[in-house]
Chain A
Amino acid sequence: MVIAIGFEGSANKLGIGIVRNGEILANCRRTYITPPGEGFLPRETAEHHQQNIHKVLQEALDESGILPQDIDVVCYTKGPGMGAPLMVCAIVARTCAKLWNKPILGVNHCIGHIEMGRLITKANNPTVLYVSGGNTQIIAYSRKRYRIFGETIDIAVGNCLDRFARVLKLSNAPSPGYNIEQAAKKGKKYLHLPYCVKGMDVSFSGILSYMEDKIEDLLKEYTPEDLCYSLQETVFAMLVEITERAMAHCSSDEVLIVGGVGCNERLQEMMGVMCAERGSKIFATDERFCIDNGVMIAHAGALAFESGTRMDFKDTTITQRFRTDDVLVTWRDD
């Protein structure tokens, strides 16, 4: 039986979670929210994490009813992500490991999302669409690696949505993507936008610069709601299309959507229609698990720890760039 604590802080979410054999004992989170029209910058985000991490840690321990000596392994996000915020969590995780005299394990953030999704939805061997503010990847498991079949060749889909929310000066609370989703529900008029699929890869930067350049003219003819609606319809159609391609390519009949953009209900709905037409199954989670959290790091770390993965203290560094397919998946035998 493995009890693991996970520290996550690769972007503007600070999360600490505790799991015992896949059972979630605590899932605590704080989000750094910037004013409308602004994104989050590394230094300010790191300061936010510094100011909150002790409180969140105490909360997680209290909520779980676990004592530090009961913990088997301390896990933290090694990467990918923003350097400064990652560093804050890594330092606290290392300190805890030393104080409590426990082993420590760095976890790949993307693997955390995938394993969390598999745990919650019980999907067995799905094609994974991982969509967030920093990543857009189509992933499938094959021979001990989560292999990337398609991805964005420039900015992430969440980044595209967030930056468009900034153009419209939408609120960043609770998240820019959520506010775009709500606005899109009121949109009626569809605007044709650039549609950019290259094989199983996608590109979003062209759509964003098109909207940014023309925003003043567009607002004369379309409401902000129409534009949110058109943007969502276009970028999600691209994502569903490459997911379907990857499924056909891998002969897979399950899809799992993970990452912050994954809690968008319109994306889930479109993916559901595609799956129904193919006779496939769709798995998705809600905002508690889709959005970055500490539980996913604890769970992925626990799986690796149980299957024998260990990390020397001198290797408990962070890295801003850490590809999903760099990790050897020791805990799966299929």
Chain B
Amino acid sequence: MDEEYKILKQGAEAKLYMCNYLGKPTLIKERFKKNYRHSDLDTSITKERIKNEARSIVRCKTAGVKTPCLYLVDFERRRIYMQHFEESITVKDFIINVVSKNQINSSGETDSIKVLDVVAKMIGEAVRKMHENNIIHGDLTSSNMLLVPKSPTGAIDDSKWLDIDNLELVMIDFGLSFIDSSTEDKGVDLYVLERALISTHNDFPDLFSKILESYRNFSKNNVKEVLCKFEEVRARGRKRTMVG
């Protein structure tokens, strides 16, 4: 039966298959066994991550953050079944392939940059909504965010990704997520995002500051403490490269 599934992608820790589950396009995420690590450790890590992922997806729904719908969890086969967005692009690919290539268009205006600003705002708001609900993503990178058209476009070129009014941001990959109310974990979550963006998108150096700005402005609820903690985590980071 497994042979019928079409493998979509093999990531670092899971294989992704496409299938049809109860008439819906479905993505199966299978966390395959890692032979390099002790089998007890492997089993406990895998079980914990499947649980985290399922839990956070559901919690995000109540927080108003868009995620794929959860269909089924199968611990035996180390699988999660969830909604598959057939028309989607990761924010990473969006920045590298769409924004960079469409920077100078016929009107001479760099409108893809404006689109990126809106995307940055959406990211800041989504992360803030998660943190307000004590959801720590744990692996915030531009590969773990998708842009999905609100209504199907059918377009084959990049234009659909520049029509910002028809796009929404979907957060994925909650394997490293957990629930915690501490400012420390929120600060680290932001720091992980900053580091990921610096290393991957160094040609857009102010991307993170725009995300942070929308994170800050989204609501007034004690955001100061989180941002102070974030600065502290950052400082710890700079101090770290000490002894060779």
* CB of A220 closer than 8 Å to a CB of B: no
Pick from B12, B34, B141, B243: contact of A134, CB under 8 Å: B243
In contact, B243 and A244 (Cβ under 8 angstroms): no
How many Å lie between the Cα of A150 and that of B193 in the bound state? 11
Q: A199-B192, A270-B36 are in contact. Are A322 and B243 (CB under 8 A)?
A: no
In contact, B40 and A190 (Cβ under 8 angstroms): yes
Interface of A, secondary structure class, is mixed
* CB of B199 closer than 8 Å to a CB of A: yes
Q: Which residues of B contact A (CB under 8 A)?
A: 11-13, 34-38, 40-41, 44-45, 138-141, 143, 176, 188-189, 191-192, 195-196, 199-200, 202, 233, 236-244
Would you give the shortest CB distance from B122 to chain A, in whole angstroms?
20
How many Å lie between the Cα of A154 and that of B236 in the bound state? 7
A 314-332 contacts with B by CB, 8 A: 320-324
Set of chain B residues within 8 Å of A133, measured between Cβ atoms: 243-244
Known: A134-B243, A150-B195. 20 other contacts (CB 8 A): A79-B244, A81-B243, A81-B244, A135-B241, A135-B243, A135-B244, A140-B199, A152-B240, A153-B233, A153-B240, A154-B240, A156-B240, A199-B176, A201-B192, A237-B36, A241-B34, A270-B36, A277-B34, A321-B242, A323-B241
Pick from B36, B37, B188, B244: contact of A109, CB under 8 Å: B244
Set of chain A residues within 8 Å of B12, measured between Cβ atoms: 241, 244-245, 247-248
Set of chain A residues within 8 Å of B233, measured between Cβ atoms: 153
Indicate with 1 or 0, residue by residue over A238-266, a CB within 8 angstroms of chain B CB atoms: 00110011011100000000000000000
Closest 10 CB pairs of A and B: A134-B243, A10-B244, A199-B192, A273-B36, A109-B244, A237-B37, A248-B12, A81-B244, A270-B36, A244-B12
Pick from B11, B38, B138, B241: contact of A198, CB under 8 Å: B138
Number of interface residues of A (CB under 8 A): 56
Set of chain B residues within 8 Å of A201, measured between Cβ atoms: 191-192, 195
How many Å lie between the Cα of A274 and that of B242 in the bound state? 30
Q: Which residues of A contact B (CB under 8 A)?
A: 8, 10-11, 77, 79-82, 109-110, 132-135, 140, 142-143, 147-154, 156, 159, 190, 192, 195, 197-201, 233-234, 237, 240-241, 244-245, 247-249, 270-271, 273-274, 277, 292, 320-324
In contact, A134 and B244 (Cβ under 8 angstroms): yes
Q: Which residue of A lies closest to B137 (CB)?
A: A199
In contact, B199 and A148 (Cβ under 8 angstroms): yes
Set of chain A residues within 8 Å of B188, measured between Cβ atoms: 153, 198
In contact, B139 and A147 (Cβ under 8 angstroms): no
In contact, A195 and B41 (Cβ under 8 angstroms): yes
Q: Which residue of B lies closest to A136 (CB)?
A: B240
Q: A199-B141, A199-B176, A270-B36 are in contact. Are A80 and B242 (CB under 8 A)?
A: yes
